Structure 1
């Protein structure tokens, strides 16, 4: 799931900024951007992320700057000395009047620079860890809010599947009634209007009933939906994404089999709608941990 968290703080003369971003992904991938000298922090950062996320692409960025105040800027002595030498040479070579003074030097600009970014190896992990934890906690809070919205959407999809199951169960018996009537009419035409062999027609209908029966598929689909709901009721800290993905695969299998057995335009239309709901479920579940 997507999310963002940040935290700032200081350690001595060093200002620390931590940013954590996450986007959707089927597996956990952690990218870490560190200042020079901070490479030793990476394993600990990955461990902290792994304790809070099971899926998604997570980017962790840490920046260090001078803490500011009077020491934030410093005189670029090398530039000033080079400028003085150049101006002195210019005055002497061309016998120019006047003198090199402060206003003239200031007009040249670029004499102040920001102090060198503090080195990461000057900062201990104990100063950094609380900021990382704070940023990650903020990220988790945002992801949990998104998870609540996602859960509502998943439940709407599941309700759509339940309506589809009810519709199939309502339509399925009518196929046999129509087929029985069709067979009786066909036999009557072949026998010149004489009474059809009801027993034989009944046997044919029984064979079709067994061939077209989708009762087991619908029972299993309902069981998968019930298991799906139970997983959504799990505490937020429990990862359920992969198990939800498995149930969606099983739902697709049952609905696909129902479509293959349909032999009925109305049921086929319902199956298409159910497959669309399942595809939306599949897409959304990739965002669930």
Structure 2
């Protein structure tokens, strides 16, 4: 066994680390590669999309690599509308050779000599004369194998993927920070609602009891305390929002957990946002209080902003 060098050591350490990153679906990457035969420039740009939709624009001679290019991209980018642009220049001075066709030239030379002897021509054969023979010189264009093209194309592709992945990672980190900031704000609003809710219910009970007492006093009748308590209890159940608040806290906790997941998380977050909206709408419909209604509007605003950000997460 060899003693690990620095590169090998870093690779082994990387394999034992759990790398957790959030990726945006928006990004751009450019890769270039040149050798003696080709100059390659490859650009990838991506925007948000529910699926992985890859569109490649490239010279026809590279069409054979379309599926291979898509498969390489899919190993790193799992969602988004991904557009690939390939500029592939083949250096013409390197893809042909010029050869003398001596079988043809020998026959012409023999015929020229016979003509000279027959007619007594003293003029010598010249190079200029030989090069005018149509079949005397062959220009042979070299046919390149598929792998020779791929060996120039693949490095540019991998560089572009690396660049766009880096940009998507940076954008994803910003989205994560913004989402967590919004969830913290939602928690603050929920705390206000949790304080207001029992106060509002108690105030409603007292106000209702006062109104009934006044009405019964005018009618010289007594309050049925048991029935009043039952009616207020029923009202309390109808307007109780504790379960909704508990579920919202649970969903917020799940969002925080999912944001630490190493797998694509966009669809999971989208589902949780729908659940958050449902719970907040229920709170709004249950509570008749104007203060809570205003706080519900704030909640919806934060949730909508999170939803927009999630649309761009892979």
Provide the TM-score with structure 1 as the length reference: 0.77
Find the counterpart in structure 2 of residue 226 from structure 1.
253
Q: Quick one: distance in 2 between partners of 1:63 and 1:226?
A: 47
Find the counterpart in structure 2 of residue 202 from structure 1.
229
Q: 1:36 to 1:123 in 2, by over 3 A?
A: farther
Asked if the contact 2:36/2:94 (under 8 Å) is kept, the reply is no
Q: Which protein, 1 or 2, shows the higher relative CO under an 8 Å CA cutoff with sep ≥ 6?
A: 2
SS at match of 2:50: coil
Deviation of the 1:284 alpha carbon: 0.7
Q: Select between 198-207 and 38-47 the one with higher mean Cα deviation.
A: 198-207
SS at match of 1:38: helix
Provide the TM-score with structure 2 as the length reference: 0.71
Count of equivalent residues: 241
- Among 237, 261, 273, the alignment partner of 1:248 is 273
Q: 1:122 to 1:185 in 2, by over 3 A?
A: closer
Deviation of the 1:120 alpha carbon: 10
Q: Quick one: distance in 2 between partners of 1:189 and 1:271?
A: 34
Counterparts in 2 of 1:20-35, with a 5 A limit? 20-35=44-59
Counterparts in 2 of 1:72-151, with a 5 A limit? 123-151=148-176
Q: Quick one: distance in 1 between partners of 2:159 and 2:173?
A: 22
Deviation of the 1:53 alpha carbon: 1.3
Find the counterpart in structure 2 of residue 6 from structure 1.
30
Find the counterpart in structure 2 of residue 185 from structure 1.
210
Deviation of the 1:232 alpha carbon: 0.7
Q: 1:11 to 1:122 in 2, by over 3 A?
A: farther
Find the counterpart in structure 2 of residue 46 from structure 1.
70
Deviation of the 1:247 alpha carbon: 0.8
* Alignment root-mean-square deviation, CA: 2.4
Find the counterpart in structure 1 of residue 198 from structure 2.
173
Deviation of the 1:24 alpha carbon: 2.3
SS at match of 1:37: helix
Asked if the contact 2:33/2:155 (under 8 Å) is kept, the reply is no
Deviation of the 1:201 alpha carbon: 2.5
5+ residue gaps in structure 2? 1-24, 96-142
Q: 1:198 to 1:33 in 2, by over 3 A?
A: same
Q: 1:136 to 1:24 in 2, by over 3 A?
A: same
SS at match of 1:58: strand
Deviation of the 1:11 alpha carbon: 3.4
Q: Quick one: distance in 1 between partners of 2:89 and 2:295?
A: 61
Asked if the contact 1:35/1:63 (under 8 Å) is kept, the reply is yes
Deviation digits for residues 228-270 of structure 1, max 9, x if unmatched? 00011123xx111111111111111111111111111111111
Deviation digits for residues 212-237 of structure 1, max 9, x if unmatched? 111111111111110100011123xx
SS at match of 1:233: coil
Q: Quick one: distance in 2 between partners of 1:66 and 1:47?
A: 24
Asked if the contact 1:20/1:59 (under 8 Å) is kept, the reply is yes
Deviation of the 1:287 alpha carbon: 0.6
